[in-house]
Structure 1
Amino acid sequence: MSEGGFTLSQAMDVKQLHAGATWTLDQLVAQSPIGEALKRAFPQRRDYLKVLSIAYFIILNQDNNISKYPTFAEATRLPWGGALHPSSIGRVFRKIKKQQIENYFSAIQEGLIEQKKKNGDDDRLTLALDSTSISSYANKLPNVERGRNKDEDNLPQINVLMLVDPKSGLPIFYRTYDGNVPDVQTVRRVIADNSRLGIQNVVLVSDRGYSGTKNINDCLRNKVGFLFNMKCGISGSLTQELIDEERVNLQDLNRMDWFTQVFQVTKKISWIYEPNPVTGQRSTKKTQETAELYWHSYFDRQIAENARQGMFERIIRIREKMAAGKSLDENEQTLLEEVFVKHEKDGTVSYSVDNKKVDQKLRYKGYRVLVSDEISDARKAWCAYQERWIVEDTFKTLKSRLGCSRNRVSDNESLT
């Protein structure tokens, strides 16, 4: 061998590692705030490299069985090059404290805002908000309660709420709640924790389960931006009033947005709220403040037509079953009571369709109303709402990829 070259014995000691996939993951981490956030949250004994290596292992393997990690690490280039046995991995996770998790999420949030600034985007950080239910076999854990199980699983559950950045898909916050806490209340608790969590300069985007007067007021009091999808089915609500006022405009072809393919109208409304409510004290003009809210109303003709066609098919099915003397299922029986009129004559029972009731049930189909204190443009609001579906991918990862749809632990520390 020439001077400075490898000897045969040295060449025999060279270790070959698979590096393509982990190199790709390295680039993704470098382009996101993940690496710096982990380093800030877990600096001791370079635990941030261990956590990242475990994440790589879970991503690149068919399951998250930690017992397979040593074999994987022997053949793969990882951020942490040392050995990690299942017991060592358990110790890494057990050392993680609540404050470290909050430090990690704060760093992620700061990193995402910094990236936006570098890209010349001064808008607030838009975060998709939603919750899911995690079933549990253990009834005695602190948050395990029976409630509305979103997976129709006949087990008590814990509710997990997440805030996710729709652009990167990164979760920047999560919190667990009792399984019987309604969705609308979970948002109020997150907003109440705003000062401690340091969630600033953000717009929360949520579905209909989280909208409501109290949540709007809480967001305004705590300077948290929001984009809420309002419920259109509540009789006599402001939402229905606005739809009725703009019904003609929302079917004007000049109001059709070419990008979203829906009709849209924006109305600015002065919203009165109490900035510093005091229990037992009546609200007066002196204690009230006013905020300008943007109410974006949309109409999708195709959704409305599909709903109408679906209603007609269900009515026809009910009439066919009744004519054949067949029993109705629960949903059909409910529709029978809602839109049919019962007639009794000479001991004979018959039914007819009440057209007004059918029209009333279809009156608000195809309409959507999004309310925001921050997003004034109807198209931007529509796109921000559509992007909130990224949180469903996060739940899919949590439940399916990480196997958390049902937990089998018996103590709270293991669950955490």
Structure 2
Amino acid sequence: MGIIYQTNKKTGITYAYQNESYWDKEKKQSRAKRKLLGKVDPVTGDIISTRSYKKKDHKAELVPAKPGPVAITKYQRCFFGATYLFDQIGKALGLTADLKDCFPEDYKKIQSIAYYLILEENNALSRFSHWQKLHIHPYGEDIPSQRSSELFQSIDEENRMRFFEKQGRRRIEKEYWAFDITSISSYSEVLSQVKKGRNKEHDRLPQINLALLFGEESGLPFYYRKLAGNITDVKTIKQLMTEFDVMGYKKIRVVLDRGFYSKKNIDLLYKNHQKFIIGVKLGLNFVKSVLEEERANLQLWTSLETQFGTHGICRPISWDYEQERPYKGDTIKDKRRAYLLLFYNPEKAAKDQADMNDYYTSLYNDLINNSRKDYRSKDYDRYFTVTDTPKRGRKVVPKEDVMREAARNYGYFALLSNEVSDPFEALSIYRSKDIVEKGFGNLKERLNFRRMQVSSELSLNGKLFIEFIALIYLSYVKKRMQDAGLFEKWSLQGLIDELDLIELFEAPGHGRVLGEVTEKQKDLYQALGIDPPSL
């Protein structure tokens, strides 16, 4: 046993070690054990023992200290009022808490990009660097294009579904959920779900379809799903029911337009014990027969609801329910209660006539000019007969009997429900599905998602999720504005711009100083259900 000395070349400090030699039987060679004795005093040569730490002290050092307030190190004056509004909305809806729980590392980035998408209408994400220098936002730093792409790709399916589940449970259990689908065009050749499909805007580009679910009473979206562009509305209900079950949603009430109607879908809704209101076509046999019996009653004053300017009646019917059981090789057949709700609106009748006249004229001109459009191919043959002869040329003759039959149903429409028997209660709920259409409009126009500009499936999934988060904030503001009657004096953009004028000044050693908040701005916050900012 002896003492050896070793000098650290970087610090110049010499350390003394107790050295003990021993024989290693496995490696069959001499080895040494060393124990630090201390530092060597460069003047006296004495060994100075290093301080020993008690275990409890060592453990205490491993416990991270609670983060305190971030010190202000630079002068900064930024816009604060609009992002403050979104911060408070996030707290009120549990949106911030749910994002933090599902995306603990990135939730502030998600919120900051969502704020940007709302405040910088129709601007590309490349402008984020400029915007963030002028605004207080959750992340507080720049998110360059490469970082935002990495963020999009990090948003995985598991945590996205967890977020939907959490938000869904926060919604009012008794409200109806309006469900609809829109198409989003794309130039991409690498996205697998971009397909040619039926586009309501008659855009010839390939597309993906996007399904959205909104709360009828809250006016807020809380679920979306991306679909291949060639998937039709009617095929989506089975998957929707499956995902409801996965997320633990029970006793759901859904509002669907008539594009989702099929006998199989209605049977599926009954099978899953879902309450529904769905639009149905007048040409269906069970609708047509009841309508013929009730046409006269739908013209009477006793069926009129002046609030809607619409006549309405309810006829209880029996639904012929069928459920196939492949595991038993048979089909259950039963009768289920349903309500057929029929309506007539004179103003709608006049509009239907004007719209159809314009449509007939458009079809006629297409045929005369030999400029048929693919999406109208069935209607050309349905309403007109076309003949071509060498002497007389092209002759287009309207099918008046078909047009006359169509005119009989101007102003009429029908709904089917398995819960609501009051026609005007059902109509009020059904009209709430307009919020989905408005949500689609917000995504495409205000949030700049009419054309997808992403290069991979992962980027698309992540960007779409953040667009959806932005849509929640935007929908909250619009619903509150509507409830408070603010649209009579303010546009959405005008209100946000008014609040965005409020500044926050930061100075080292002096903290944060809130800019002037006018009475008008305070009134707007309160109308939106938010306390005005104060420090």
| Corresponding residue for residue 251 of structure 1 | 299
Partner Cα separation in structure 1 for residue 148 and residue 362 of structure 2? 58
1:31 aligned residue (87, 92, 111): 92
**CA separation of 1:138/1:15 partners in 2, compared to 1, >3 Å: closer, same or farther?**
closer
Is 2:278 the counterpart of 1:211? no
User: Is the 8 Å Cα contact of residues 339 and 354 (structure 1) preserved in structure 2?
Assistant: yes
CA deviations over 1:239-288 (Å, ceiling 9, x no partner): 111211211111111100122110000112222323453378343xxx33
Q: Give RMSD over aligned pairs.
A: 3.5
- Give identity over the alignment, percent: 28
Cα deviation, residue 369, structure 1: 0.9
Partner Cα separation in structure 1 for residue 147 and residue 362 of structure 2? 61
User: Is the 8 Å Cα contact of residues 255 and 263 (structure 1) preserved in structure 2?
Assistant: yes
User: Is the 8 Å Cα contact of residues 152 and 459 (structure 2) preserved in structure 1?
Assistant: no
**CA separation of 1:408/1:313 partners in 2, compared to 1, >3 Å: closer, same or farther?**
closer
Where in structure 1 are there 5+ consecutive unaligned residues? Answer: 1-9, 114-122
Partner Cα separation in structure 1 for residue 198 and residue 286 of structure 2? 27
**CA separation of 1:85/1:244 partners in 2, compared to 1, >3 Å: closer, same or farther?**
same
One-letter identity of the residue aligned with 1:175: R
Q: How many residues align?
A: 383
Is 2:82 the counterpart of 1:21? yes
| Corresponding residue for residue 407 of structure 1 | 452
**CA separation of 1:295/1:71 partners in 2, compared to 1, >3 Å: closer, same or farther?**
same
Q: Where do residues 256-275 of structure 1 align in structure 2 (5 Å cutoff)?
A: 256-275=304-323
**CA separation of 1:334/1:36 partners in 2, compared to 1, >3 Å: closer, same or farther?**
closer
CA deviations over 1:347-393 (Å, ceiling 9, x no partner): 9x999987654431212221111111222322121111111111122
Q: Where do residues 170-185 of structure 1 align in structure 2 (5 Å cutoff)?
A: 170-185=220-235
Larger radius of gyration: 2
| Corresponding residue for residue 5 of structure 1 | none
| Corresponding residue for residue 120 of structure 1 | none
User: Is the 8 Å Cα contact of residues 121 and 447 (structure 2) preserved in structure 1?
Assistant: no
CA deviations over 1:300-344 (Å, ceiling 9, x no partner): 12222343456678889999x9xxxx76875899679737899xx
Partner Cα separation in structure 2 for residue 316 and residue 63 of structure 1? 36
User: Is the 8 Å Cα contact of residues 324 and 330 (structure 2) preserved in structure 1?
Assistant: no
Q: Where do residues 70-85 of structure 1 align in structure 2 (5 Å cutoff)?
A: 70-85=129-144
**CA separation of 1:309/1:399 partners in 2, compared to 1, >3 Å: closer, same or farther?**
closer
| Corresponding residue for residue 61 of structure 1 | 120
| Corresponding residue for residue 442 of structure 2 | 397
1:101 aligned residue (142, 145, 160): 160
One-letter identity of the residue aligned with 2:286: L
One-letter identity of the residue aligned with 1:38: L
User: Please, what TM-score do these two structures have when normalized by structure 2?
Assistant: 0.63
**CA separation of 1:357/1:280 partners in 2, compared to 1, >3 Å: closer, same or farther?**
farther
Is 2:279 the counterpart of 1:229? yes
**CA separation of 1:153/1:37 partners in 2, compared to 1, >3 Å: closer, same or farther?**
same
Partner Cα separation in structure 2 for residue 355 and residue 155 of structure 1? 36
Partner Cα separation in structure 2 for residue 100 and residue 351 of structure 1? 58
User: Please, what TM-score do these two structures have when normalized by structure 1?
Assistant: 0.80
User: Is the 8 Å Cα contact of residues 233 and 260 (structure 2) preserved in structure 1?
Assistant: yes
One-letter identity of the residue aligned with 2:428: C
| Larger strand fraction of residues | 2
Where in structure 2 are there 5+ consecutive unaligned residues? Answer: 1-70, 462-535
Higher relative contact order (CA 8 A, sep 6+): 2
Cα deviation, residue 25, structure 1: 2.0
Is 2:209 the counterpart of 1:159? yes
**CA separation of 1:95/1:233 partners in 2, compared to 1, >3 Å: closer, same or farther?**
same
Partner Cα separation in structure 2 for residue 142 and residue 351 of structure 1? 43
**CA separation of 1:102/1:309 partners in 2, compared to 1, >3 Å: closer, same or farther?**
closer
1:88 aligned residue (144, 147, 161): 147
User: Is the 8 Å Cα contact of residues 383 and 398 (structure 2) preserved in structure 1?
Assistant: no
Partner Cα separation in structure 2 for residue 209 and residue 380 of structure 1? 21
Cα deviation, residue 400, structure 1: 2.4
Cα deviation, residue 210, structure 1: 0.7
One-letter identity of the residue aligned with 1:224: Q
Partner Cα separation in structure 1 for residue 423 and residue 410 of structure 2? 19
User: Is the 8 Å Cα contact of residues 318 and 337 (structure 2) preserved in structure 1?
Assistant: yes
User: Is the 8 Å Cα contact of residues 128 and 142 (structure 2) preserved in structure 1?
Assistant: no
